[in-house]
Amino acid sequence: VEFLYCDLASMKSIRQFVQQFRAKNCPLHVLVNNAGVMLVPERKTKDGFEEHFGLNYLGHFLLTNLLLDALKQSGTHSHNARIITVSSATHYVGKLHLNDLQSRCSYSPHGAYAQSKLALVLFTYRLQHLLTANGSHVTANVVDPGVVNTELYKHVFWVVKVVKWMTAWLFFKTPEEGASTTIYAAVSPEMEGAGGCYLYNEERTKSADVAYDEELQRRLWTESCKMVGISDEAIRLP
């Protein structure tokens, strides 16, 4: 195991990480997008993005796009490279505000978090569409880990923290249990060649209806490219 530092809240850090990784000339068979914050007070990343959208979504969007060449080179017809992105059931109540992705008009921690998780599902479906059209041996899937007992809840109201502390053993998954579907998506032979899936408890299930809106997927992708400064056409090249 080798550690390389990458701050998903910094576009500069992401680009530096990708340069360091590429310099090693290592294959890349699995990419798991799992960083995140939840219900943080209104604040911005180093690049001026609202933190939920910038870290949870845009950081992973840029990282994935910059690593696509390595993933394509590593995937084969019989063993596709795999991209697994961790979303949340919260995406079911999320709304994507294309005219206000930074939540500047009216900030709600819950709304911003849900929007970032919906964006990840839309991103995954659009990514798989482009990978398929490109003929790449790479698959992209999105995972709902469930309600997991981690430090992600440190910004919730204190009453919720008390309830969580009292009931976690009954209603919350352990981190190991929460990781099981991600691991399944990353290594299971059953997922070989399967992309564009929403997975929960190691099973394919239906995401929010709005996530299947191809026009919304396309518009979010185009806007995301502008925000992180990459070409909208890059993935289409052979």
Q: 112-171 pLDDT, tens per residue?
A: 999 999 999 999 999 999 999 999 999 999 999 876 455 554 555 434 444 444 555 445
Neighbour order of strands in the sheet with 138-144: 30-33, 81-86, 138-144, 198-200, 203-205
Please report which confidence band the pLDDT of residue 67 belongs to, taking 50, 70 and 90 as the band edges: very high
Strands (E) in 34-147, as ranges, are 81-86, 138-144
pLDDT averaged over the chain?
88
Q: What is the pTM of this model?
A: 0.88
Indicate the range of 18-27, 63-72, 154-163, 184-193 predicted with least confidence: 154-163
Phi, psi (degrees; rounded to nearest 5) at 199: -115, 135
**Mean pLDDT on 63-77:** 97
Please list the active-site residues: 113
Q: Which residue has the tokens 């806007």?
A: 223
Token pair 């701050």 is found at: 7
Q: What's the CA gap between 80 and 86, in Å, rounded?
A: 19
- Among 79, 81, 94, 86, smallest CA distance to 34 is for 86
The amino acid occupying position 220 is: L
% pLDDT > 90, the chain? 75
Q: Averaged over 205-216, what is the pLDDT?
A: 98
Residue 5 phi/psi, 5° resolution? -75, 135
pLDDT tens for 161-193 read 444 445 554 456 676 776 889 999 999 999 999
pLDDT of residue 172: 65
Q: What is the DSSP letter of 100?
A: -
CA separation for the pair 75, 146 (Å, rounded): 29
Residue 219 scores a pLDDT above 80: yes
Interatomic CA distance for residues 124 and 221, integer angstroms:
10
Question: Cα separation of 130 and 233, whole Å?
Answer: 10
Q: How far apart are CA 14 and CA 10, in angstroms?
A: 6
Q: Rounded to 5, what percent of the chain is helix, strand, coil?
A: 50, 10, 35
The pLDDT of residue 198 is above 60:
yes
Q: For the domain covering 11-235, report its CATH number.
A: 3.40.50.720
Contacts of 220 (CB under 8 A, 6+ apart): 96, 98, 119, 122, 123, 126
User: For 81-103, what is each residue's pLDDT tens digit?
Assistant: 999 999 999 999 999 999 999 99
Q: How many residues does the chain have?
A: 238
Residue with tokens 């919350």: 172
Residue 142: HSE in the Cβ half-sphere, 13 Å Cα cutoff: 26
Facing residues of 141 across strands?
84
**pLDDT (average), residues 60-84:** 97
CB 92 within 8 A of CB 208: yes
pLDDT for position 161? 42
Higher pLDDT pick, 93 / 232 = 93
Cα gap 31→182, rounded to integer Å: 11
| Domain ranges for the chain | 11-235
